[in-house]
């Protein structure tokens, strides 16, 4: 593949529930299957030279789901982090999170912190998990930080105080499952992202489809407002 790797890929991993329903399984089985796909995509991204992979794992709106599903997702996240730690370390991957994790249980917060701490020297790729993440919530938090620090409200300062501080803007945004909307994901950071919507449900997404998207991205002309 002669493609230039994008620096930042962001994914809205959607369709776990419908994937499960089609197989007469519980929605939770779809979430478990979806978690497995993350490893393949992360390893592949690091292999081809992507620097940031930002994954929407739980939105500020997902608390509206049935209590049992939310609890399942929290447990799955804890299991995922514990399971992936050796793989992150082996592959020189750093974990970072965006979103307001203070609403999570103390034990989950601890696992997140430990994983971040133990992978902090990873230089190949940063996997960014969006957890209790909502773009509007993030922007409000950034503006509050500016007020606290008595900083001028301008683009540079807002950007530096978002949860994604220091990260490049999104090059490729992918949403699986056929829905064509942003669902409160990285509104600021997607300002000039190239967007790709695939009908594939997240548990069926794979590195070949990602490669096709990256090829397509390489053929697009990004003008950023110029001519
Ligand atoms: C995405 O899959 C995973 C999360 C939002 C946590 P969904 O659970 O939204 O799956 P669908 O959209 O109902 O199929
Ligand atoms: C977006 O998917 C959130 C995540 C993938 C974590 P949703 O399934 O929650 O979004 P809507 O409700 O269809 O917009
Ligand atoms: Mg969904």
Average pLDDT over residues 28-39: 98
- Confirm whether 163 is a catalytic residue: no
Average pLDDT over residues 44-49: 98
Of the residues 10, 19, 20, 59, which should be mutated to test ligand 2's pocket, given the most ligand atoms within 8 Å of the CB? Answer: 59
What's domain 8-134+169-218's architecture? 3-Layer(aba) Sandwich (3.40)
Distance 50 CA to ligand 1 centre (A): 25
Euclidean distance between the first and the last CA atom of the chain, given in angstroms as a whole number: 28
Closest CA to 105 of 135, 75, 65, 81: 75
- Confirm whether 62 is a catalytic residue: yes
As beta bridge partners, residue 143 has none
pLDDT of 1 reads 53
pLDDT of 46 reads 97
Nearest atom in ligand 2 to 14's CA: 5
Average pLDDT over residues 20-41: 98
Q: How far apart are CA 184 and CA 175, in angstroms?
A: 13
Of the residues 12, 29, 30, which should be mutated to test ligand 1's pocket, given the most ligand atoms within 8 Å of the CB? Answer: 30
For residues 18 and 34, the answer to whether their CB atoms sit within 8 Å is: no
- Tens digits of residue pLDDT in 146-166: 999 999 999 999 999 999 999
Ligand 2, atom 1: closest residue by C-alpha: 183
- Tens digits of residue pLDDT in 91-117: 999 999 999 999 999 999 999 999 999
Q: How far apart are CA 27 and CA 207, in angstroms?
A: 24
Beta carbon of 179 within 6 Å of any ligand 2 atom: yes
Task: Give the closest ligand to the alpha carbon of residue 56.
Answer: 2
pLDDT of 3 reads 83
Distance 12 CA to ligand 1 centre (A): 9
């Amino acid at each position: 593949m002669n493609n230039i790797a994008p620096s930042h890929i962001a994914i809205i991993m959607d369709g776990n529930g419908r994937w499960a329903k089609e197989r007469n399984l519980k929605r939770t089985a779809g979430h478990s299957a979806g978690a497995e796909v993350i490893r393949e995509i992360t390893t592949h991204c690091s292999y081809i030279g992507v620097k940031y992979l930002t994954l929407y794992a739980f939105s500020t709106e997902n608390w509206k789901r049935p209590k049992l599903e939310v609890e399942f997702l929290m447990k799955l996240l804890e299991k995922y982090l514990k399971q992936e730690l050796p793989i992150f370390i082996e592959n020189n991957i750093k974990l970072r999170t965006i979103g307001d994790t203070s609403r999570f249980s103390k034990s989950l917060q601890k696992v997140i912190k430990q994983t971040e701490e133990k992978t902090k020297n990873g230089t190949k790729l940063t996997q960014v998990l969006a957890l209790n993440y909502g773009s509007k919530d993030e922007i409000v938090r950034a503006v509050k930080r500016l007020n606290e620090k008595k900083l001028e409200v301008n683009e540079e300062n807002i950007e530096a105080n978002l949860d994604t501080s220091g990260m490049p803007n999104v090059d490729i945004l992918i949403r699986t499952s056929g829905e064509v909307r942003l669902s409160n994901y990285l509104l600021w950071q997607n300002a000039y992202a190239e967007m790709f919507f695939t009908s594939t449900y997240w548990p069926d997404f794979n590195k070949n489809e990602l490669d096709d998207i990256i090829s397509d991205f390489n053929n697009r002309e990004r003008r950023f407002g110029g001519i």
